[in-house]
Structure 1
């Protein structure tokens, strides 16, 4: 899936399931076998990794951070994010 395809997922009301890897070597968003995988360099402490995920995903989707809401998985690697 290309970056343009990721932008196609930025439909209002859509729920995105993502798999997060905190403490990654680099910040990245990849799609592997239909799964969105996000690596962030920050540790999973005090919500820092969640904030980094929202920031990185908003950039990849081409939408403002305010349009993304973490619905499920605040303390898990598997997260559900809604596009508003």
Structure 2
């Protein structure tokens, strides 16, 4: 099972966020205890008033070569596990994110 799922106009990406992580970065892919794969993303900001979620969205957008406006939170606003929608070409986004996950 991959950390992404194809959507009609892009990808849905599962993320495990780490706020107050010391830097803003994609930290690769990890398999959770239930077998799901997620991208690990750490951000410097604290989880206050949605700031960490917004920062995670920006890291995800940068990793996919998208403007932040093309990334939308679908679920997990107050949780570490989140699902984002990335608007764009599905195959291109998938390739960029898989490469970014491998490099980290």
Mind listing any 5+ residue stretches in structure 2 that lack a counterpart?
A: 1-5, 31-36, 88-104
Counterpart CA distance in 2 for 1:57 and 1:18 is 9
Partner of 1:45: 48
TM-superposition CA deviations, 1:2-36 (whole Å, max 9, x none): xxxxxxx9x93310000000010111102234531
Counterpart CA distance in 2 for 1:74 and 1:41 is 17
Deviation beyond 2 Å, 4+ runs, structure 1: 32-35
TM-score (norm 2): 0.66
Counterpart CA distance in 2 for 1:59 and 1:81 is 13
TM-score (norm 1): 0.80
TM-superposition CA deviations, 1:17-76 (whole Å, max 9, x none): 000000101111022345310000100001100111111111111011111100000000
Counterpart CA distance in 1 for 2:60 and 2:47 is 17
Alpha-carbon RMSD across the aligned residues, in angstroms, is 1.8
Aligned residue pairs total 75
Partner of 2:77: 74
